[in-house]
């Protein structure tokens, strides 16, 4: 896994301030996040042996991330500590739940293709390499190329979509976008989710696309057709990080040798459980919790 670390500093306020205004907020909380950390924790709690490549700053936030990796039994030997500060995410949440977010990636932007090459043997000896896009695209591309050339399954969660993301086509086996991401990555964005999935399969030369559809579940598209997976019914409390829970759990399922349809069913239930709890990485369930729900 190559991924990001962002300390989320969440502010609640009655509304967004206008230019030049100071506004009194109503709440504040701080969570360890970033799509990389969230997905790594999801995979680890699903029983995978996770090894992570990434970068934090030489500061208190960075130390908190390294401690969290230890606590979750994630191998952080390839997580660099850089002179740039740890990445931060600054969401402002309005009373209706509407978000506006500033993300300052800082240390996450320090990762270079050379750093990735230094960890090549780790990527080559993995069952699945899981990637997202809160890092420099050239480093992501290098990880995809190394894994692809070694015959390792490459899974990409193309979030956020970057200019140049399409350059990764041909290196990815499984693409896991949400619906807006899926539409922005095809030449033919206007059709049904199934049509978009099929277009992505061809344009990207993929083995599979898994479109995540929020409360509507997911849609798996491969050469045999499209298979909908209905969402597991839950009372949603906080959908932040649902996609991360889904991607990390799916990668873990595949790494432990599950057939694709059962790995997707597992991820779908894990993601549903995560939306019943607040937080990103904090809200991710364990293998035991997901299994219990699936067998019940």
Establish if 4 lies at the interface with ligand ADP (CB under 6 A): no
**Interface with ligand ADP (CB under 6 A), residue from 214, 222, 260, 291:** 214
Q: How far apart are alpha carbons 291 and 295 in whole angstroms?
A: 6
User: Exposure pattern of 93-112 as b/e (b: 16+ CB <10 Å)?
Assistant: beeeeeeeeebebbbbbbbe
**At closest approach, how far in Å is the CB of 239 from ligand ADP?**
5
Q: Binding site residues for K(+), as ranges?
A: 238, 240, 274, 277, 279, 283
Name 43's Cβ contacts closer than 8 Å, sequence gap at least 6: 1, 50, 130, 248, 249, 251, 252, 255
What residues between 167 and 186 interact with ligand ADP by CB under 6 A? 178
Establish if 266 lies at the interface with ligand ADP (CB under 6 A): no
Q: Binding site residues, as ranges?
A: 6-8, 34-38, 134, 178, 212-217, 238, 240, 243-244, 268, 274, 277, 279, 283
The smaller minimum CB distance to ligand ADP, of residues 110 and 155, is found at 155
Establish if 209 lies at the interface with ligand ADP (CB under 6 A): no
Closest CA to 75 of 40, 42, 36, 110: 40
Name 185's Cβ contacts closer than 8 Å, sequence gap at least 6: 158, 161, 165, 166, 175, 177, 200, 204
**At closest approach, how far in Å is the CB of 240 from ligand ADP?**
7
**At closest approach, how far in Å is the CB of 165 from ligand ADP?**
15
Pair 144, 156: CB distance under 8 Å: yes
Contact footprint for ligand ADP (CB under 6 A): 178, 212-215, 217-218, 231-232, 234, 236, 239, 242-243, 246, 268, 271-272, 275
């Amino acid at each position: 896994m190559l991924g990001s670390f962002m300390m989320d500093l969440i502010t609640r306020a009655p509304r967004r301030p206008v230019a030049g205004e100071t506004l009194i907020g109503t709440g504040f909380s701080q969570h360890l996040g970033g799509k990389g950390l969230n997905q790594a924790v999801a995979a680890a709690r699903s029983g995978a042996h996770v090894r992570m490549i990434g970068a934090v700053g030489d500061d208190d936030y960075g130390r908190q991330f390294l401690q969290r990796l230890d606590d979750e039994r994630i191998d952080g030997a390839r997580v660099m500590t850089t002179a740039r500060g740890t990445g931060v995410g600054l969401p402002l949440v309005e009373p209706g739940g509407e978000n506006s977010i500033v993300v300052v990636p800082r240390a996450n932007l320090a990762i270079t293709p050379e750093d990735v090459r230094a960890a090549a043997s780790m990527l080559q000896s993995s069952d699945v390499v899981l990637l997202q896009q809160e890092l420099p695209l050239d480093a992501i591309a290098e990880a995809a190329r190394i894994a692809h050339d070694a015959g390792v399954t490459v899974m990409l969660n193309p979030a956020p979509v970057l200019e140049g993301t399409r350059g990764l086509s041909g290196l990815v086996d499984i693409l896991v976008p949400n619906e807006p991401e899926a539409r922005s990555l095809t030449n033919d964005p206007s059709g049904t989710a199934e049509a978009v999935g099929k277009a992505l399969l061809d344009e990207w030369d993929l083995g599979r696309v898994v479109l995540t559809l929020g409360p509507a579940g997911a849609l798996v598209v491969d050469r045999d057709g499209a298979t909908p997976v209905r969402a597991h019914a839950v009372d949603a409390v906080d959908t932040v990080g649902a996609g991360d829970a889904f991607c990390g759990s799916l990668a873990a399922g595949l790494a432990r040798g599950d057939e694709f349809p059962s790995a997707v069913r597992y991820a779908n239930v894990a993601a549903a459980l995560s939306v019943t709890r607040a937080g990103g990485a904090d809200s991710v369930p364990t293998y035991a919790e997901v299994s219990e729900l699936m067998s019940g």
